[in-house]
Each structure stands twice: as structure tokens, then as C-alpha cells.
């Protein structure tokens, strides 16, 4: 069984080889001679910094997400969007930090063209290998839940992910969507689990039901251990694939098993220290621009410069959150923002898209009320209603709210509806469970990309 991380590392190693081969070929075409000696040494050293910049941009841009390999048109479009960003940063880098007095911008353009051809060819070849040549992780499922339908369809659409659900075993009381039977074989609990697992060469069995209530099922699962099968619960598998915790199929025991707050004390200390230092630095850097922002807000519509509103913070303690005002005051009932909200001014739309309106929240970070990364804070007046309709909603207040978060970089727009709030909470629970310095840095970098590419809301 080839793990996803190993596939991504293989993809990255191929990119590195292509990177230096493309540089060699670009220098050869530019100077019509084999690049060697000082020419190769100077350019390869300078371009090594470019390699780090490019692959960081590509990672942030999801070019190492295996799911995206299956859509060629989308892959090409996404690549050239990220290439544009990488090129701009590279040109700025060469202007600011010329290496050994060289500024190989012409070489960079030639290199970018050659690299793009080989990069995309390598992606298409790798995608073909994943789909058609590498062995799949054959999965068996015990029990059923509607979330399985989402996973089954996902694996059918994206075979390069390397998962194939071979069968589902149900008991007499479980019903299943008839359409699923067209995609996956379904057996009853009397069929031999050991025989089916051996026949389909199962590598993992997903437990979509509590096996503790069935001693016979536990015995049969135990008997499959010699086959080298691993077991994983449906909530954990769903989380691994989607980056969301399936709220509808977890109970209180899930939180007891997965949310060990005491284990995160060192992380929280480092995070708080980094928040404080970064907030002070960014506040100092942005302060000279505040007069221009304040003037633009005043000219856009009458009203105060700042907008403040109470939000619910960590441990359900309310605090006053600050932002630059982006909406008109007249005829504003301060209801939740909607898509294409007409209350937003032209200046406000720009500030929202670029996240400039959230700069005053640096004050909330310095005061310890917020973090750069965390669940977005909700308004207290809506929380009572949300708690009635969304299970475990209060759990998101176990950590500090953030300016950006795992949900904000998910690529989905979530309204204030109950169904969308459930999706937001699924992302928030994933973050709370898996929060780490690496995850925080990833969220911050992807947030920066959202700002640069003008995709904010």
C-alpha cells in the first residue's frame, strides 16, 4: 500500500529533477554552449532560492494535492495562476538580492517556459500511473452511513487518490441508498468476512458502526488480522480524506478520545508568543497607511471609521472585536452579511477582498482575545439558536478565535444557515484536534495567497 505522503514526496522529487534539468537546458539555449564552471555555479545557486520560492507557492496553491491531478484543465489553469505569482516573487527577489552581481531575468523567462512544459507532462504521467498502474488501497466497510456515499463518489471521480471501496457489509436492520449498490457490492453480515477480505485483497476495513455491541463481529475482525488488514473508524477515515470531522456520526466519546487540551500547552505558549510578536510588527508596519485608509472610508460614506461588535471568545467570554468599517450606516440593520451585499461600499469591498478591514483585529490579538489562526468568532446573539440546531457548537470556543482559519481556506463559502454552520464546525473541529505549528503556518500562507489573488470575501 503506497501512502499519500509517499506519493506527494515522489511528485516533489520529480519536480526537483525537472527544475534543474530545465535550468540546464535554458542556459544551454541562451548561451548555445554547455553550461559549466562559473556560469552553472552562479545560476544554479541563485535558482536554488527560486526553487524554494516556487515550490512553496505550488504547495500553497494545492499543486501537490493528489485529488487535483485528475482534472487536467483545472490543473493547467491552477498551475499558470501559481506560476504567475512565483514569477513575480522571483523577479522581485532578483532585483532585491542579485547573487554575485547577476540578475538572470532573461534566463528566468526561458527557464519558466521549459519548466512549464516538463512540469505539466510529469503531472499527466504521474496521474496516469496513479490511476492505472499503482495498486489501490482496497477497502471493506462494516455498516453504513450516508457519509459513505460522498466518499464512494469521491473515489470513483478521483481514482488517482488510490482508494477503492470493494464491499459493504450490512446487518438486517440497515438500509442503503439503492444507487450505491450500483457502485459497490453489498453483502449481509452472514457472508464470510474473512473470505471476502481475502478475495478482494482488502488492506483496510472501515468501521461505520460500533463493533463493541457485537461479540461475533469482533471475533471475525480479529480473525482477519493475519491478512494484514488495518482498521479505522468512519469518522477518522472521513476526516483524513476531507479535512472535516463528520459531526453527525460522532458522540461525546470522540471528544474525550481526541481533544487532549493538556497536550497542547507548549504549542499554545509558542503560538501566543508568535501571535504577540507578529501582531506588534505588522501593526508598526501598517500604521503609516492608516491615515489613507481612514480617509478612504470617510470619503466612501458617512459614519464612523471603525466598526466594533461583540463576539464570543475562548471559553464563551465575549469581547469587542474591531474592524475598519466597510458598510454604509444608513438603512443598515446589522444583519448577517450576504453574498453581493448592497450595504458594502466600493472601498469596503476592496478592503474585504484584501482583508485590510481586519487589520484593527491586531489590537484584539495583542490583548490576547484572538489569534491569527482559529475558528471565526460568532456574534453572541446568534449562538443560543445555533446551539439548539448544531450539536457540540460550544466546543469551538475551547480555543481562541482567529482572523483566519481552516474553514476560511477551504475554498467554500459558508453562509449563516444551519447546514453551512455545520460544515464550518466540521472544519473547526478538524483544526482543534489537529492544530500544530505546521498547520497554523499552512493556514497563514494560504490566507496570504487568498489576499494576493484577490479571492477574499
Q: What is the mean pLDDT of the segment spanning 303-331?
A: 91
pLDDT for 25 beyond 50: yes
pLDDT score for 451: 77
Q: Where are the domains of the chain?
A: 4-132, 137-242, 261-452
pLDDT score for 76: 93
Q: What is the mean pLDDT of the segment spanning 90-95?
A: 82
pLDDT for 189 beyond 80: no
Q: How confident is the model at residue 413 (pLDDT cuts 50, 70, 90)?
A: low
Q: How confident is the model at residue 45 (pLDDT cuts 50, 70, 90)?
A: confident
Mean pLDDT lowest among 86-95, 255-264, 413-422: 413-422
Per-residue cell: 313: 471568545
pLDDT score for 282: 95
pLDDT score for 211: 83
Q: What is the CA radius of gyration of the chain?
A: 26
pLDDT in tens, 100-140: 556 667 888 899 999 999 999 999 999 999 888 787 889 99
pLDDT in tens, 56-76: 999 988 899 888 887 888 899
pLDDT score for 1: 43
Q: What is the mean pLDDT of the segment spanning 198-205?
A: 92
pLDDT for 27 beyond 70: yes
CA distances from 72 to 126, 158, 453 (A): 12, 12, 21
pLDDT in tens, 217-275: 888 889 888 988 999 999 999 999 999 999 888 888 888 888 877 788 899 999 999 99
Q: What is the mean pLDDT of the segment spanning 291-311?
A: 92
pLDDT score for 94: 79
pLDDT score for 455: 59
Mean pLDDT lowest among 53-57, 226-230, 339-343: 339-343
pLDDT in tens, 286-295: 999 999 999 9
- Which is nearest to 313 in space by CA: 394, 389, 427? 394
Residue found by looking up cell 471475525 in the block: 220
Mean pLDDT lowest among 14-18, 35-39, 167-171, 413-417: 413-417
The pair phi, psi for residue 364, each rounded to 5°, is -65, -35
pLDDT for 390 beyond 80: yes
Q: Which CATH number does 137-242 carry?
A: 3.40.50.720
pLDDT score for 162: 87
Work out the percent of the chain whose per-residue pLDDT is above 70. Answer: 95
pLDDT score for 457: 52
Mean pLDDT lowest among 17-31, 131-145, 272-286: 131-145
Q: Which of 178-182, 260-264, 352-356, 402-406 has the highest mean pLDDT?
A: 402-406
Q: How confident is the model at residue 454 (pLDDT cuts 50, 70, 90)?
A: low
- Beta bridge partners of residue 141, listed in sequence order: 168, 206
pLDDT score for 21: 95
Q: What is the mean pLDDT of the segment spanning 3-11?
A: 85
Per-residue cell: 319: 469581547
pLDDT for 335 beyond 80: no
Residues in the chain: 457
Amino acid at each position: 500500500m503506497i501512502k499519500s505522503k509517499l506519493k506527494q514526496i515522489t511528485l516533489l522529487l520529480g519536480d526537483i529533477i525537472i527544475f534543474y534539468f530545465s535550468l540546464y537546458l535554458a542556459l544551454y539555449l541562451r548561451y548555445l554552449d554547455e553550461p559549466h564552471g562559473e556560469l552553472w555555479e552562479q545560476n544554479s545557486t541563485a535558482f536554488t532560492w527560486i526553487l524554494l520560492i516556487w515550490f512553496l507557492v505550488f504547495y500553497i496553491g494545492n499543486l501537490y494535492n493528489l485529488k487535483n491531478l485528475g482534472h487536467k484543465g483545472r490543473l493547467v489553469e491552477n498551475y499558470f495562476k501559481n506560476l504567475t505569482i512565483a514569477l513575480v516573487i522571483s523577479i522581485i527577489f532578483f532585483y532585491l538580492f542579485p547573487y554575485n552581481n547577476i540578475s538572470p531575468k532573461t534566463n528566468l523567462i526561458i527557464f519558466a517556459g521549459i519548466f512549464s512544459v516538463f512540469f505539466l507532462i510529469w503531472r499527466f504521467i504521474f496521474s496516469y500511473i496513479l490511476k492505472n498502474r499503482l495498486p489501490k488501497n482496497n477497502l471493506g466497510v462494516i455498516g453504513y452511513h450516508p457519509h459513505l456515499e460522498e466518499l464512494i463518489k469521491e473515489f470513483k471521480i478521483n481514482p488517482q487518490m488510490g482508494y477503492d471501496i470493494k464491499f459493504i457489509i450490512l446487518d438486517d436492520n440497515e438500509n442503503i441508498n439503492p444507487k450505491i449498490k450500483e457502485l459497490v457490492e453489498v453483502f449481509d453480515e452472514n457472508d464470510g468476512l474473512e473470505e471476502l477480505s481475502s478475495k478482494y485483497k482488502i488492506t483496510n476495513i472501515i468501521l461505520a458502526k460500533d463493533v463493541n455491541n457485537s461479540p461475533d463481529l469482533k471475533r471475525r475482525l480479529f480473525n482477519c488480522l493475519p491478512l494484514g488488514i488495518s482498521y479505522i473508524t468512519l469518522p477518522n477515515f472521513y476526516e483524513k480524506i476531507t479535512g472535516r470531522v463528520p459531526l453527525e456520526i460522532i458522540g461525546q466519546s470522540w471528544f474525550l478520545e481526541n481533544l487532549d487540551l493538556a497536550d497542547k500547552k507548549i504549542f499554545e505558549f509558542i503560538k501566543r508568543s508568535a501571535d504577540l510578536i507578529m501582531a506588534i510588527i505588522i501593526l508598526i508596519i501598517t500604521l503609516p497607511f492608516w491615515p489613507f485608509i481612514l480617509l478612504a472610508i470617510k470619503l466612501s460614506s458617512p459614519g464612523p471609521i471603525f466598526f466594533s461588535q461583540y463576539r464570543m471568545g475562548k471559553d464563551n467570554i465575549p469581547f469587542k472585536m474591531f474592524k475598519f468599517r466597510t458598510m454604509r450606516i444608513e438603512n443598515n440593520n446589522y444583519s448577517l452579511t450576504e453574498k453581493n451585499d448592497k450595504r458594502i461600499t466600493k472601498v469596503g469591498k476592496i478592503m474585504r477582498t484584501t482583508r485590510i478591514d481586519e487589520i484593527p483585529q491586531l489590537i484584539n490579538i495583542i490583548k490576547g482575545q484572538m489569534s491569527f489562526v482559529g475558528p471565526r468568532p460568532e456574534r453572541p446573539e446568534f449562538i443560543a439558536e445555533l446551539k439548539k440546531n448544531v450539536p457540540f457548537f460550544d466546543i469551538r470556543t475551547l480555543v481562541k478565535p482567529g482572523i483566519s482559519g481552516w474553514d476560511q481556506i477551504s475554498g467554500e463559502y459558508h453562509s449563516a444557515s444551519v447546514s453551512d454552520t455545520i460544515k464550518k464546525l466540521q472544519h473547526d473541529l478538524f483544526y482543534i484536534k489537529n492544530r500544530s505549528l505546521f498547520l497554523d503556518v499552512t493556514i497563514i500562507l494560504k490566507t496570504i495567497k487568498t489576499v494576493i489573488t484577490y479571492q477574499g470575501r
